[in-house]
Amino acid sequence: MSAAADRSRMIQFEDVSKRYARSPDALSGVSFRLDKGEMAFLTGHSGAGKSTLLRLVGLVERPTRGRVEVGGLDLGQLPKRRIPHYRRQVGMIFQDFRLLQDRTVFDNVALPLIVAAAPGADVGKRVRAALDKVGLLRRERALPQELSAGEQQRVGIARAIVSRPPVVVADEPTGNLDPELSWEIMDLFGQLNRVGVTLLIATHDVDLVRRMHYRTLTLRHGHLVEDTGPPVP
């Protein structure tokens, strides 16, 4: 592989397997590459291994076998003391939002910056820029329970991108939303991709994936069984 190709690589799995105690492999021999600025969907049945794969990218877990590389880093060789810094380079979005119910929208989005000890002057600017990106700037003082499900997911997206990570992974981000809201959230991901963010999105909504016209990786019982480019419109 050329040096130029190396620089373009953002996520790479090489023969990756993950096994939990007294269970079959959640992932088995998975290999793929996602280039910088690429957006792809991860599909498959419930229990196919989608969430496990995303947790490996976020370094929430490590593989049992194989190599996971993100942004040129071999995650298997990353020392524990560097894990918190690495995780700030990967925005993670969840189906159940995971917002702090007693904190305002602003405070929820600011949390990653506060944990990273960002300068106070930067926090307000970055939080408001992220909220503006997802169309919630006017709701910064609202509490999560005052928002619709779609708005809460937008807060989750703002929190994931407030640190300006080069990689964003999303685990069933539209699982609790109706079709219209799901399309709006996916459109937001498309906007992020157009400014250079690399995205890997797990979803079971095959119809929505077809409408988006992006690369699709399909898992079945822990195996990567299909890797297709965007369908012809």
pLDDT digits over 211-230, tens only? 888 999 999 999 999 999 76
CB neighbours of residue 123 within 10 Å = 17
Task: For the full predicted model, state whether its pTM sits above 0.85.
Answer: yes
Q: Residue 151 is which amino acid?
A: E
User: Would you list the domain boundaries of the chain?
Assistant: 99-164
Non-local (6+) Cβ contacts of 76 within 8 A are: 62, 63, 67, 68
Across the chain, mean pLDDT equals 92
Nearest CA-CA partner of 209 in 158, 173, 159, 160: 173
Q: 103 and 57 in contact (C-beta within 8 Å)?
A: no
3-class SS of residue 196: coil
Task: Decide: 198 and 24 in contact? Cβ < 8 Å.
Answer: no
pLDDT at 2: 40
Residue 179: predicted pLDDT: 87
Q: Is 196 exposed, middle or buried (0-12, 13-18, 19+ CB in 10 A)?
A: exposed
Q: Is the pLDDT of residue 4 over 70?
A: no
Using CA atoms, how far residue 187 sits from 33, 95, 200, 208, 215, in Å, is 23, 17, 14, 11, 15
Q: Which two tokens stand for residue 195?
A: 């400014």
Cβ-based neighbour number of residue 59 at 10 Å: 20
Residues in contact with 197: Cβ distance below 8 Å, sequence separation at least 6, in sequence order: 37, 161, 165, 166, 167, 168
SS3 of 143, please? coil
Cα 96 to Cα 99, 121, 154, 229, distances in angstroms: 8, 30, 12, 29
The pLDDT-based confidence of 6 (bands split at 50, 70, 90) is: low
Q: What is the mean pLDDT of residues 31-42?
A: 96
Say if residue 148's pLDDT is above 60.
Answer: yes
Confidence of residue 1 (pLDDT cuts 50, 70, 90): very low
What mean pLDDT comes out for the span 142-167? 95
